[in-house]
């Protein structure tokens, strides 16, 4: 389902790694292999970097050869599998660290999309951050179980393992469904990520912002569905970087927030006028390409749902 999509091969390989780990776990359990020959603890050092690189592939559509160094600790730990508890403890630290690193990477990508696209919510991986956060909590509990395995009753140990496997089964199904449903994420140039870090005087960009704001409102350019920074640049004749900096410094908003706030204001004004139009029609008329994104943006601006706002008019 996922292999044919650009950037999804890393996720497929990550799921394959989970399957291989499960296979080794079954083999070692059935044949009662001694601790000296255990392989499964090594996988604890593989899961973290594998998930991180899979998410990098989702964002950038590729990874570099040097990224293979992330797997180096797992490789060098193979001869030391007889020290099971030490390997598991190191794997615990690795998985927690990589979970944080992966979440930060996805969050940075979302912030970068906000600087360039009005439909960034449709391409971001906020749901993946939620999955990582939820599974990280349960993984931490399960890794505590693994670290203290010799001191836990056999039945309790099996219950913990079964629960964690069930949780991952649900997570894998959800990830597969969401990735198969979601459109291919647009690439973001490195300079886009750095754009918000420049310290510049807002007064320098005030004339640009005033001219931009007037033109966008008068010509209702925010109504262009899936409007991007480059498209607005073509429509206004202003440079993309100047538009971005003018909005960031003078409106104190990202490009995404600026455009969607104008769209919400447009819908609110129509509703106040008493026009007999459905909220969904107004949302698409204002430029939103997704009802879910519209509902979220509307509530952020007004503090209430569109339906409640309409009923109050």
pLDDT band at 191 (very low <50, low <70, confident <90, very high): very low
pLDDT band at 194 (very low <50, low <70, confident <90, very high): very low
- From 307, 115, 142, 126, select the one nearest 228 (Cα to Cα): 115
Give the least confident one: 80-94, 113-127, 136-150: 136-150
Per-domain boundaries in the chain: 9-181, 198-312
What is the token pair recorded at 138? 């349960």
pLDDT band at 196 (very low <50, low <70, confident <90, very high): very low
The label of the residue with tokens 């749902």 reads 305
CB 306 within 8 A of CB 264: no
**End-to-end Cα distance, the chain:** 47
What is the token pair recorded at 193? 């990520």
Q: Which residue has the higher pLDDT, 194 or 292?
A: 292
In whole angstroms, what is the distance from residue 255 CA to residue 196 CA?
Answer: 11
Cα 285 from chain centre: 28
Question: What pLDDT, on the 0 to 100 scale, is given for residue 200?
Answer: 63
- Fold classification of 198-312 is Arc Repressor Mutant, subunit A (1.10.10)
Q: Which residue has the higher pLDDT, 149 or 285?
A: 285
> pLDDT digit string (tens) for 8-57?
999 999 999 999 988 888 887 776 655 556 788 889 899 999 999 999 99
């Amino acid at each position: 389902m996922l292999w044919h999509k650009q950037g999804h091969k890393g996720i497929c390989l990550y799921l394959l790694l989970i399957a291989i780990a499960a296979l080794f776990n079954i083999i070692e359990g059935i044949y009662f292999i001694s601790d000296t020959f255990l392989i499964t603890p090594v996988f604890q050092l593989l899961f973290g970097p594998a998930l991180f690189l899979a998410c990098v592939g989702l964002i950038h559509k590729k990874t570099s050869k040097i990224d293979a160094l992330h797997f180096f600790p797992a490789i060098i730990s193979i001869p030391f599998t007889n020290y099971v508890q030490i390997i598991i403890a190191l794997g615990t630290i690795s998985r927690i660290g990589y979970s944080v690193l992966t979440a930060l990477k996805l969050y940075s990508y979302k912030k970068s999309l906000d600087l360039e696209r009005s439909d960034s919510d449709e391409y971001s991986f906020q749901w993946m951050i939620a999955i990582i956060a939820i599974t990280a909590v349960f993984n931490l509990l399960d890794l505590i179980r693994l670290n203290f395995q010799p001191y836990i009753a056999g039945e309790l140990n099996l219950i913990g393992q079964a629960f964690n496997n069930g949780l991952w089964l649900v997570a894998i199904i959800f990830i597969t469904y969401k990735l198969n449903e979601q459109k291919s994420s647009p690439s973001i140039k490195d300079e886009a990520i750095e754009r918000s870090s420049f310290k510049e005087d807002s007064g320098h960009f005030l004339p640009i912002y005033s001219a931009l704001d007037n033109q966008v409102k008068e010509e209702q350019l925010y109504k262009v569905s899936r409007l991007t920074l480059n498209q607005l640049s073509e429509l206004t004749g202003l440079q993309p970087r100047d538009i971005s900096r003018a909005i960031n410094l003078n409106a104190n908003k990202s490009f995404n927030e600026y455009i969607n706030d104008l769209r919400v204001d447009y819908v609110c004004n129509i509703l106040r006028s008493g026009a007999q139009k459905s909220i969904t029609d107004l949302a698409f008329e204002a430029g939103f390409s997704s009802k879910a994104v519209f509902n979220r943006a509307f509530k952020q601006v007004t503090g209430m749902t569109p339906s409640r706002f309409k009923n109050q008019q």
